[in-house]
Amino acid sequence: MALFHQVCLFRCIKPKTKPKMSEVEKKECPVKPKPCCVCLDEKKLRDECLLFNGQEGGKCNELIGKYKECMKGFGFETR
């Protein structure tokens, strides 16, 4: 079974590599994974950085960007 379909079926399985979903793959998967279940490593690093450094200093911008890029790979829009 393809990694993408495992994510679709189990919804909360975190893939070892973060696949970029093409339009075809998005249509094949009837259920999109929940945002809480993807990009866990990126989210943890981002949150720790923001907790200890705050957002104003700009020290966490790279980690925030990585998290946004990861979420975009799963089809989620972030601001």
Query: Is 37 one of the annotated binding-site residues?
Result: yes
Query: Is 70 one of the annotated binding-site residues?
Result: no
Is the backbone of residue 75 left (phi > 0), alpha (psi -120 to 50) or beta? left
Task: Kindly list the distances between the CA atom of residue 27 and the CA atoms of 24, 35, 62, 64, 76, in Å, as whole numbers in the listed order.
Answer: 5, 18, 31, 28, 14
Task: Kindly list the distances between the CA atom of residue 37 and the CA atoms of 15, 32, 52, 55, 71, in Å, as whole numbers in the listed order.
Answer: 10, 11, 24, 24, 10
Binding residues for Cu cation: 36-37
Binding residues: 36-37
